[in-house]
Amino acid sequence: MNDHPQKVTDDVARALERCAESLSISEFSRVTGVRIELLRRFVNHQVNNIRAETWDKIYPHLKPFLVDPKEQPRARRIGPAYRRHAELVGMVSDQKVLLDVFNVLSAGKRQEAISLMCENNRASSSKYRSLNADENKLMGAYLALPPEEQNTRLRKLLTLGKEEIRRTRRELAG
């Protein structure tokens, strides 16, 4: 616990502004237990010092915003970068989710995903020029399913994707 008031420096004020923009001032107030009116005074430089008890409440939420963005480690991307193509823009949301999840999977899990979509389904591959052969095979099988079955299988694939992302994050962290 800190016993001394925290000076509201320009860095602290900027961090407060960024935190309030990120969460909203009311959400920031809710998670910290500090009154909105007091938080606004800090953000608007109307107060020079923050009492120790108040600082202890807001600091954990403010800490990520106190580090210079240039010094923050960049998050590692899992899966490929966003692709821009007219065909992809024209897809419905579930199709985009299907492709996003598919692209974070390892090669073995991708074949498992294709098998999941093709199970009891004699569909042919879709013909999207912006997709590779495996993606077209997956998409063709998905589109041939009735809507309720599309939803069920997409949810199964999402579970598989979440497991894969967790595994990848553990590997990156360890």
Q: What radius of gyration, in Å, describes the C-alpha atoms of the chain?
A: 24
Ordered structural domains, the chain, with CATH: 6-66 (1.10.260), 87-173 (no CATH)
What is the Cα–Cα distance from 83 to 27, expressed in whole angstroms? 34
Which among 15, 132, 114, 118 is positioned nearest to 63, based on CA atoms?
15
What is the Cα–Cα distance from 55 to 7, expressed in whole angstroms? 10
The series of mean pLDDT values per 10 residues for the chain, 174 residues long, is 74 82 82 88 84 89 75 64 80 92 92 91 89 94 94 95 90 79
Which among 174, 80, 173 is positioned nearest to 135, based on CA atoms?
80
DSSP assigned state of 76: P
**pLDDT at residue 121, as a whole number:** 81
- This model's pTM is above 0.75: no
